Every structure is written in C-alpha cells, then in structure tokens.
C-alpha cells in the first residue's frame, strides 16, 4: 500500500488537486494486484475553506494526525501575482521536512515547487516550475538550480524530491509516481484509461522568448530595439552593433551581461520566436518560413529550431496549430 498525502491549503488550484486525487483513488481498479494506492487530502486542519477560485473544500485529516506517509503531493498554487510570500505555511513546511526524514517522497506540481523549496531541501539541486513563477522563485531561492526547459525532475536521495512544470504537467508527475511505486504497466493502464499524457519534449516548446528590456544601458537598449524590428536581416548583429555606437568587444560584453544572451543568440531567439508564430498561425512550408525569418539554409534553421525548442518545426506545428475542428467552431 502506498499512502499519498495531497496538501490542501487555500492557495491551491483545484484542478491540480482534485485531478490527481481522482486518478489516484480510481487507479486501484485499473492496476489490479500490482499494488494499491491510498490517497487523502491533508491540511492544517479539517475545517472547510475556500480555495483560490472560491470552491469550498476540506481536508480529510490534519497534518498533526499524519505521522507517516509515503508521498506528499503539493498541487499548483495561486501565488497571488508575480511574487511568492514565504513563511505563510511554516507548519506544513516543517511537517514535510519531518516526513522526508522518515523516507517520504516530496512532490511539487507547477508552482507547488515554491512551497517545496521552502524546506531548503532543494538548495544546490536542480528544480523546475511554471515559467510564470521564474522570477519570484529565483529571488526567493537563489541556491536552487532552476531549469525551466524540463517538465519533470526527480532529485535528492533516491530521487525523493520531485517537481513538474506547468499545471497540466501533473499528468507527468502522477504517472511517474505510479511507475515508481507500482510499476510501468500500471502507469500505462492509468494513462490509457484517463487519456493522460507524458510530455517527453519538456517545457521548452511552450516557453516564449522574453526580451530583457528592464535595464538602463541606453546603447544596448538601442541595439535591442533595432534587432526587434530588423532581426531577419543577414547582418543583424553587425548592424545592431553599429546602431549602438559601441566597439565590438565592448558591445558583446555589455550585451551578454545585461540580456543573458550573446548578440547572435539573441537574434536567433527572435527569429525562432517569429517562426513559431508563423507555424502556429499559417500553412507556409518550413523551408519558406526559414527564408522569411532570415535563414537561407533550411537545414541549419531546422537544427537551430530544435536546439531552442527541443522539437522540430513540423512537430511544433502539429503540437500548437489549432486543429481544424476548433477553427471551424470559431467561424
């Protein structure tokens, strides 16, 4: 028997709590005698409260009554804006640390990784989270090696610290848990029945390139503004450098320090971002899109696109272009 405690606090997004709860409680009917899962909602107390979207809910048991558990699952949390305030759930954080010391697996889905990071157990280790929470995560937990492109990470002793990316990635986490605790055949049976999906390409295909414009270097801002409008030009970096009025070595050093990208990598990301929009919204062949965004060599463009997004242009189009049945519904 594997006991799973699903953390239930006012900040939870209900779907990432009730979805896994439904899957775990009903999975026993699918996995037969391979194993059993017992899932329950656990909170500070058992009083009914309203969640982030106003839905009333109550935990089955208080954390004070749960002295042993195999898995602690933290659902996606509504962080109330761009900033996560630490210290609001210290009793739960202390309980999680105590259960981890007893051998429990700690799992943070999406922004639930913020609460998991408060335990200090992620310091010096890799982690992932929804891209929306990147800034507040880095500010609060600078010792954690954040890797947004990954959709699922298991780290620490025995891989007992787990995180999944955006809210829908709880599919990956629950399937991984069932694989670890019960077995791969059980996970496949659950995936088929509930139409759950793995995301083997990670979060990289979903990430948008964010131009770093919140700085005071006027010369670099001038170059960035020029790049944003002229990134398809053959000599975009050289022309942007001339616009900045800086010497080449100075320009590259200051640009990389401020934006986090070399000038050529910055232009490449602008081009790929434009290509992504064209793949999502149009039907032009990949070779044509390669030329439109500034690459005469389609093979090079395909390699670059996959390096940045983890998928090929054709795969990206299949993943993100709106299916015809939905397009018809909008007409």
Q: Would 25 be classed as within a structural domain?
A: yes
Residues 224 and 141 in one domain: no
Q: Is the pLDDT of residue 325 over 80?
A: no
Q: Is the pLDDT of residue 189 over 70?
A: yes
Compute the average pLDDT of residues 166-194: 89
| Mean of pLDDT over the chain | 92
Residues 255 and 303 in one domain: yes
Which of 170, 203, 236 lies at the terminal end of a domain, its last residue? 203
Q: What is the CATH number of the domain that holds 316?
A: 1.10.10.60
- Specify the higher pLDDT residue, 36 or 5: 5
Residues 231 and 301 in one domain: yes
Q: Is the pLDDT of residue 115 over 90?
A: yes
**HEC assignment per residue over the chain:** CEEEEEECCCCECCHHHHHHHHHHHHCHHHHHHHCCEEEEEEECCCCCEECCCCCEECCCEEHHHCCCCCEEEECCECCCCCCCCCCCCHHHHHHHHHHHHCCCEEEEECCHHHHHHCCCCCCCCEECCCHHHHHHHHHHCCCCEECCCCCEEEECHHHCEEEECCHHHHHHHHHHHHHHHCCHHHHHHHHHHHCCCCCCCCCHHHCCCCCCCCCCCHHHHHHHHHHHHHCCCCCHHHHHHHHHCCCHHHHHHHHHHHHCCCHHHHHHHHHHHHHHHHHHHCCCCHHHHHHHCCCCCHHHHHHHHHHHHCCCHHHHHHHHCCCHHHHHHHC
What pLDDT does 109 receive? 94
- Specify the higher pLDDT residue, 66 or 324: 66
Which of 148, 180, 203 lies at the terminal end of a domain, its last residue? 203
164 neighbors 76 (Cβ within 8 angstroms): no
Residues 140 and 246 in one domain: no
Q: Would 213 be classed as within a structural domain?
A: no
Q: Is the pLDDT of residue 327 over 70?
A: no
Q: Is the pLDDT of residue 140 over 80?
A: yes
Q: What share of the chain has pLDDT > 90, as a percent?
A: 72
Residues 29 and 122 in one domain: yes
Compute the average pLDDT of residues 106-112: 95
């Amino acid at each position: 028997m594997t006991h799973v405690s699903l953390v239930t606090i006012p900040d939870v997004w209900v779907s990432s709590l009730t979805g896994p709860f439904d899957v775990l409680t009903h999975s026993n009917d699918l996995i037969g005698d391979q194993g059993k899962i017992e899932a329950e909602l656990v909170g500070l107390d058992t009083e009914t409260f309203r969640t982030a979207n106003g839905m009333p809910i109550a935990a089955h048991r208080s954390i004070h009554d749960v002295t042993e558990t195999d898995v602690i699952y933290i659902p996606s949390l509504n962080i109330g804006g761009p900033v996560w305030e630490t210290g609001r759930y210290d009793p739960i954080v202390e309980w999680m640390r105590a259960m981890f010391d007893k051998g429990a697996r700690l799992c943070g889905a999406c922004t639930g990784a913020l609460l998991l990071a408060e335990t200090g157990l992620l310091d010096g280790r890799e982690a992932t989270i929804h891209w929306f929470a990147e800034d507040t995560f880095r500010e609060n937990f600078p010792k954690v090696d954040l890797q947004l492109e990954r959709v699922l990470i298991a780290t620490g002793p025995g891989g007992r610290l787990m995180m999944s990316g955006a809210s829908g990635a709880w599919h990956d986490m629950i399937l991984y848990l069932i694989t670890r605790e019960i077995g791969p055949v059980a996970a496949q049976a659950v995936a088929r029945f509930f139409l759950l999906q793995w995301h083997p390409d990670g979060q990289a295909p979903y990430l948008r390139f964010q131009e770093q414009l919140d700085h005071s270097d006027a010369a670099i801002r001038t170059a960035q503004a020029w790049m944003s409008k002229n990134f398809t030009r053959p000599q975009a970096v050289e022309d942007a450098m001339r616009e900045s009025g800086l010497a080449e070595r100075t320009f590259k050093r200051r640009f990389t320090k401020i934006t986090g990208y070399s000038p050529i990598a910055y232009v490449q990301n602008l081009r790929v971002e434009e290509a992504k929009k064209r793949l999502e919204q149009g039907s032009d062949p990949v070779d044509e899109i390669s030329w439109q965004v500034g690459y005469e060599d389609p093979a090079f463009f395909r390699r670059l696109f996959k390096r940045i997004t983890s998928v090929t242009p054709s795969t990206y189009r299949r993943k993100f272009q709106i299916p015809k049945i939905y397009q018809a519904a909008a007409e």
